[in-house]
Structure 1
Amino acid sequence: MRILTALAAVSLTALAAPAFAQQAKPAPILTTPEAKDVGTHARPEIARVTHVSLDLTADFAAKTMSGKAVLDILAAKSAKEIVLDVDDLAIASITDARGRKLAFAIGPRDAELGSALTVQLDGARRVTIAYASKPGASALQWLAPALTAGKTRPYLFSQGQPINNRSWIPTQDGPGIRQTWDAKITVPADLVAVMSGERRDGAAGVPAANGKHSYRFFMDKPVPPYLIALAVGDLAFKATGPRSGVWTEPSQLDGAAYEVGDVEKMIHAAEALYGPYRWGRYDMLVLPPSFPFGGMENPTLTFLTPTIVTGDRSNTDVVAHELAHSWSGNLVTNATWSDSWLNEGFTTYFENRIMEAVYGPERAAMYADLDWDGLNKDIAEAGGQSAPTTRLHGDPGATAGQLDYFKGSTFLRTIERAVGRTRFDAYLRSYFDRHAFQPQTSAGFLADIRANLIKGDSVLEDQLQLDRWTYQPGLPENAVHVQSPTLARIDAQLAAVKAGGPVSAVDTKGWATQQWLRFLGGLPRQQAPARLKELDESLGLSRSTNAYVRSAWAELAIANRYDPALPSIRAFVTSVGRGLLIHPIYEGLIQQGDWGKPIAKRFFTEARPTYHPVTAAQIAKIVGE
C-alpha cells in the first residue's frame, strides 16, 4: 500500500438515522483499503453502532459487570445483520426496541480478537443485549482491598486500549468506528464510580436498591470505543483549576494534586498551540500501582500511574502527553492500529511543545534528547536500520519498542524544522480542525499535508522524504536531533565515571528523573561487582523512591547478574504494574538464561495477582508461560 490522493468516507446518506438525539450526524468511517481494520470482526460499512447505552452493576464478589447494553445502529437498507465484537461475554438475550427476541450467534473465540457476535436485525435499528462479563475479562482489573492504598475497600478499573473493551461491552471495538455513549453504573454504596464522560449525578450518585448507589455519565461526542473507561473505588476529588481536578484514594490525594498542579497551565498552552479543548473538563484519576501504563487518555478523565508522583513534578510530561491526546488520538484517531503513530507520534511531539511552553525550552530539550536515545535503542534492538518493525506504518502492534512515539515525533519535528515553526503550527491547527472527531490513516495524513502544506513544492517534497519516513524502515538522514545542554553536563559526569573516577564525586543534587535516566542509561552494561556496589551505595539506587530510577538500576544489575540487587528488584516488580518499567526487567532476566529464568518465573508467580490482565498476559509471554 502506498500514498492515496484522497480519503473516502462513507456518506451513509441513504441509511437510517441514529436514535441518539444529541448526535445529529454520525462520525464518518473510512472505506479506503488501508483503513481495513484487522482488529475487529465488524463490518461497519454494512451496519455500524453509533451509540452505546449501558446499564451495568459491578459485582465485586463475582468480579463481573452485568446488565444490558442498548445499541443504536446505522445500517444499509439491505443489511440483514450486524456483527459485533465480544470476548467471553455471557449473552442472556438480544431484543429489538419492541422487546422481540432477535436471533444471534457467537462465533469461535480467537485468542487475540475474541468472538464475532452476529445479530439478525429483522429490521431493527436499536437492539438491547442482556449480558454479563466474566471474571477474567481482559479490560477489567478487580483489586482486593490489600492492593489499594487504603487497604479497606476493593477497587475496579478498566483499560480498553487497544481492543480489550469487548470483554465488558458488546460493540464494534475498532478505533475507526466512533460512537457516542451513556451509562448508568451501580456499585456498593461505600464506593464511588467515575467514567470518561460527563457526570449526570453528583459525586455521591443516587441511592439504588440493596444498599447500592448508581452513577450516570454521558459522552455526546463520538469517540473510538477503547476510550470508554470506568473506575470504582474509595475515591476522593480535589480541584486543580476551574475545569480540572484529580481523583484518587483519600490518603494519596494531596500528593497527587500537587504533582499535577500545573495542569491548567498545560491546558492553556495546548489551546494556544492547536485550538480549543473540546471535551469540557480535564480531570485525572491516579490509580493503584497495578495500572499498566504511564497514562491513558480517556476523555474528561485521564488515567495516571502513581509512579509519576515523585514530589518534584519532574514526570509531568506524562500529564502533558495525555492532555495532548485530547487533540491527537481522541479528536483525530488512527483508523486502525497499524497507524498508531498518528496517535502516539503526534502526541509525543505535541507533549514536548506543551512542556516547552510551561517549563521552558531546556526542559523540553531534555525530553526530546532522551527520546532520541530511546529511538536509537529501539532501532538497534529491533535489528538495525533495515528491520521491518522500524517502519511507522506496519502490522498492528509490530513496531519496535516505543518507535511509534519516538520516530513519529522526530518525523514531525523534522517537518517543523524544514518549514518553520509558525507555518507548521498553523498547518497542525488546521489539520485538527479539518479532521475533528474523525478517523485517519497514514495515507490520509500524507495526502492532507501534501494538499495543505507542501502545495506542490517539489523541493520541499524531496527534502521531507514523507514516504520514506512513513513506509520505510530505519531513520532517514534528515532526522532532527534536539540536544540538551543539561544532559550534556550529565554526560560529562558520566564520562568521568566511565574513565574510572569515583561514583561519590557524582553530584546528583537536584537531579530530575530525566538526568537520572541519562546517567544510568549511559553506563556501560558490563560492570564489576565492586563497581555495582559502589553505584548502589553512593547513589542510593536500591532505596530510591523514584520508580524510573529503580527500573533503570534493575536493568543494569540484571545485565551483570548482581545478586545483591535482587531483593530490591523483587520488591519493585511486586509493587509496580506499569509495563514500561517492568517489561525490561523480566526481559533482562530471561536473557540471562539459567541464572535469570528461574528468578523471572519466581518473581512473576508472586507478582501476577497484582498485575492488570493485560500486563499479566504480556509478562507471561516473556517468561514463557
Structure 2
Amino acid sequence: MAPSLSPSETLPQDPHSHASQSPVRVRHLDLDLAVDFAAHTLAGTATWQLSNSDQATEVVFDTRDLTIESVEGIDTAGNALSASFTQGPADPVLGQSLNVALKPETTAVRIRYRTAATAAALQWLEPAQTAGSQPFLFTQSQAILARTWLPCQDSPGIRFTYAARVRVPPHLLALMSAENPQQLDSAGEYHFRMAQPIPAYLMALAVGDLAFAPLSGRTGIYAEPATLPSATYEFADLEKMVAAAEQLYGPYRWERYDLLVLPPSFPFGGMENPRLTFVTPTILAGDRSLTSLVAHELAHSWSGNLVTNATWNDFWLNEGFTVYFERRIMEHLYGAEYADMLQVLGRAALHHTIEEIGVSSPDTHLHLALAGRDPDEGLTEIAYEKGCALLLTLESLVGRPRLDAFIKEYFARFSFQAMDTATFLHYLRAELLDQEPGLEARLNLAAWVEAPGLPGNAPAVTSRRFEVADAALAQLAEGASAVGVAEATHDWSSHEWVHFLHGLPPTISAGELAELDATFDFTTSGNAEILAAWFPHALRAGYVPADTALENFLLHVGRRRFLVPLYRALLATPDGAQRARKIYAQARANYHSVATGTLDALLAEHQ
C-alpha cells in the first residue's frame, strides 16, 4: 500500500515558490479585504494560522508587486506580537519572498498589504466592457498569480482552509471559491468560508452586477442579469453531470457546484475554482454543444482540486486525468459517438502542439522541467491530451472496470493531498501494473512520462460522426457545391462543424469561401468555436467580408486559446503585422495579463 503523503517529507521542492522551502506551513487564512474600483486595488489583512512543529524561527511567503504595510505575530491568546520581516530580491516571474521572523509563542502572522493597480491576477473591467454597464473584477490565480493579490505560500503542494470578509460597492455582489451568497447585501459586506483545504492557485474572487439562478439543490448559475437566461438554458444538465461524475469516481466532496459566467475577457475556457467554476461566455452556443468544457471543470473537483499536482512540473496529473474523466462524463450523458468526437478533436490538437513545439522537445514529456521559466509555459495540450492518451492506453490494456476501480481508489486514498509524478508512478505500479507480468512493458510507461512525442502504442481514435463530415469534405474536393452537401449537415453539432472547417484545404480560395459562407453563414455565426476555426481560412484567402467580424471578435473575446492562433494567422498575411498591431492596441485593455503576456511576446517577434 502506498504511504500517505506529507508535503514536508516526501514531496519535491517547488521551483516556482519561495515558500515551498519554508520549514513552516500555513494551515488557515483569515482574509479581510476592501475592493477599490477607482484605484484598482485590494487592501486589507491576511492572517495566517501556522503549523510549526519544529519550532522554526522564520516563515516564508510568496509575494509579487504587493505593498507590505506591516506584519505582526499573534499568540494562542490572540495577543499581537512584534515581528520583523524582510523581502527578497524581485524576480519578474517569481516575485519576492516575504520572510517573517517568529517568536516561540507565535502561532499566526497578520500581514497588512495592498495590491498594485497592475496586479497580474486581477482583471478590472470598465462598465462598457460588461453586459450590464457596471464595473467588474475577477481574479485568475493559476498558475502562480495568487501571490499578486495575496501574500501566501503559492505552491500547489501546500493546502489551507480559509474565511474571508470582503467589502465592495453596495450595488455589486462578491463571490469567492467558498460558500457564497445568492443575493445582494445592502451594506456591500460579504463573508465567506472554505472548510476544505485548497492550494493558493484555487483562491478566487469576483465582484460585479451578478444574479443567481438555481438549477438543483446543489447547483446553480451566477451571471450578469442580461446573460443569466441564456446561461441557465445552456447549463440545464449541470446536475446530471455531477451525478454522472459521482457514479464514475465517487462522491462530490465540495458541497455545492455552481458556475459563474464571466464577461468575455476571461482568458481561459474555464477555471475550476472550488464550489464556483469560472466559465467563459464563449461556450454559450445556444444548443448546449460546448458544455464539455463544464464537464472538464467539474472533473477537476476530483483530479486537481481533490488530488493536486505537487508542483507545476507535475501538471499532467491534473489535466490528463481531467480530460479522460470529462469525456467519460460526456459519454455517460450523450453517448459514445459524442465522446468519440471529443477524442478526435483532442488528438488533432495534440498532434498540432507536438509539431509546433517540436517532436523531440523535452516540453512534450508528460513530466516537465519548468524551473527557471514561467510555469504557464507548461499549460499546453501535452498535459491535457497526452495525459488523456496515456489513460486511454492503460484502459485498452487492463479494461475499463479495472481502470475505473484504480482511479476511484486513487481519488479516495489521496483526497486533499498533493501528488508528484514519482509517487504516482510508484502507486500505479504497486496497485495495477505489477499485478500482471509484462504489463508495464506493454504500456511502455517510461516513453509516456519521460520521452518526447506521442508513443506508438497510443490507441487510434475515430469518430463515425466525423466520417460524415469527411464525406462532405470529399464531395467539395470533387467539385460539389456547398448547397449540394448542405443536406448532410442539418443536424451537425459544433464539433462536426469545427472538424469540417479544420478539414478545408489551406489553399481554398476566397470565392470558394464566399460560397460556403452564403450557404452556412459562418461569418455571422454566434458560435465562438466555429468562428475561431473559420477566420484563419478567411485570412489566408483574403476573404474580405469576414474582416469586420474578425476584428469584432478580437476586440471583445479574451480567451487565449482563440486569440493566439488568430493573431498568428493575421500576422502571416501580407499586411498582417500592421493590422494586428492596430487591433491589439484597441483590444489589449480588454485582455487579462495571462493573455497579454503571450500576445506581447508574439507581436514583438513581428516588429
Compute the TM-score of the two structures, normalised by the length of structure 1.
0.92
1:327 is paired with a residue of what secondary structure? coil
Per the alignment, in what secondary structure is the counterpart of residue 409 of structure 2? helix
> Structure 2: which amino acid aligns with 1:168?
W
Instruction: State the partner residue of 2:124.
Output: 142
Distance 1:156 1:129 in 2: 23
CA distance in structure 1 between the aligned counterparts of 2:300 and 2:422, rounded to whole angstroms:
20
How many angstroms apart in 1 are the aligned matches of 2:62 and 2:228? Answer: 37
User: 1: CA distance between counterparts of 2:440 and 2:165?
Assistant: 51
In structure 2, the residue matched to 1:558 is 539
**Which residue of the other structure, out of 74, 91, 106, is the alignment partner of 2:51?**
74
Counting aligned pairs with the same residue, the percent is 45
Q: 1:116 aligns with which of 97, 102, 108?
A: 97
TM-score (norm: length of structure 2): 0.95
* More displaced 10-residue stretch of structure 1: 356-365 or 45-54: 45-54
Change (3 A) 1:43 1:545: closer
Matches within 5 A, 1:271-290: 271-290=246-265
Mapped pair 1:305 → 2:295: no
- What's the CA shift string for 1:472-505, capped at 9, x where partnerless? 1111111012211001110110112233332232
* Structure 1 position 198 matched with structure 2 position 179: yes
Query: Given residue 127 of structure 1, which amino acid in structure 2 is its aligned partner?
Result: V
Aligned counterparts of 2:8 and 2:232: Cα–Cα separation in 1: 39
Query: Are the counterparts in 2 of residues 138 and 614 from structure 1 also a CA contact under 8 Å?
Result: yes
SS of 1:291's equivalent in the other structure is: coil
Deviation at 1:559, TM superposition (A): 3.1
CA shift, 1:553, in A, is: 1.1
The residue type paired with residue 40 of structure 1 is S
Tell me by how many angstroms 1:29 deviates.
4.7
**CA contact 2:5–2:417 (8 Å) conserved in 1:** no
1:218 is the counterpart of 2:200: no
* CA displacement 1:67-111 (0-9 Å, x = unmatched): 100011112535221111111111110011122331111222211
Are 2:295 and 2:330, in contact at CA under 8 Å, matched by a contact in 1? Answer: yes
Choose which of 463, 470, 478 in structure 2 pairs with 1:499.
478
Q: Which amino acid aligns with 2:482?
A: V
- Measured against aligned partners, the alpha-carbon deviations of 1:182-209 in whole angstroms (never above 9, x if no partner) come to 111111110111111113x66333x5xx
- Aligned pairs for 1:410-559 (under 5 A) are 410-507=389-486, 508-559=489-540
Aligned length: 593
CA distance in 2, matches of 1:499, 1:202: 57
Deviations 1:85-143 (A, max 9, x none): 11111111001112233111122221111111111112322010111111111111111
Task: Choose which of 603, 606, 613 in structure 1 pairs with 2:593.
Answer: 613
Secondary structure of the equivalent of 1:112?
A: coil
CA distance in 2, matches of 1:94, 1:472: 46
On the 8 A contact 1:31/1:45 being kept in 2, the answer is no
| Runs (5+) with no aligned partner, structure 2 | none
Q: 2:73 aligns with which of 96, 105, 112?
A: 96
Structure 1: 5+ residue stretches without partners: 11-27
Is the contact between residue 86 and residue 115 of structure 1 (CA under 8 Å) also seen in structure 2?
A: yes
The question of whether the paired residues in 2 share the 8 Å contact of 1:317 and 1:355 is answered with: yes
Distance in 2 between the 1:617 and 1:240 partners? 37
Aligned with 1:100: secondary structure? strand
Question: Separation in 2 of the partners of 1:419 and 1:503?
Answer: 45
In structure 2, the CA distance between the partners of 1:7 and 1:393, relative to structure 1 (3 Å rule), is: farther
- Spell out the pairing of 1:147-166 with structure 2 (5 A cutoff): 147-151=129-133, 153-166=134-147
In the alignment, which residue of structure 1 is the partner of 2:549? 568
- Per-residue Cα deviation, 1:518-546 (whole angstroms, up to 9, x for no partner): 00111111222222322333321211110
How far apart in 2 are the matches of 1:576 and 1:30? Answer: 44
Specify which of 587, 590, 596 is matched with residue 576 of structure 2.
596
Name which of 310, 319, 323 aligns with 1:335: 310
- Counterpart Cα distance in 2 of 1:580 and 1:90: 33
The equivalent residue for 2:162 is: 181
Tell me how far apart the structure 2 counterparts of residues 156 and 120 of structure 1 sit (CA, whole Å). Answer: 34
Moved more, 606-615 or 341-350: 606-615
Q: Is the 8 A contact 1:43 1:82 kept in 2?
A: no
- Residue of structure 2 aligned with 1:171, choices 152, 160, 177: 152
Q: Which amino acid aligns with 1:442?
A: T
Q: CA separation of 1:584/1:144 partners in 2, compared to 1, >3 Å: closer, same or farther?
A: same
Partner AA of 1:539 in structure 2? F
C-alpha RMSD of the superposition: 1.7
Secondary structure of the 2:212 match is strand
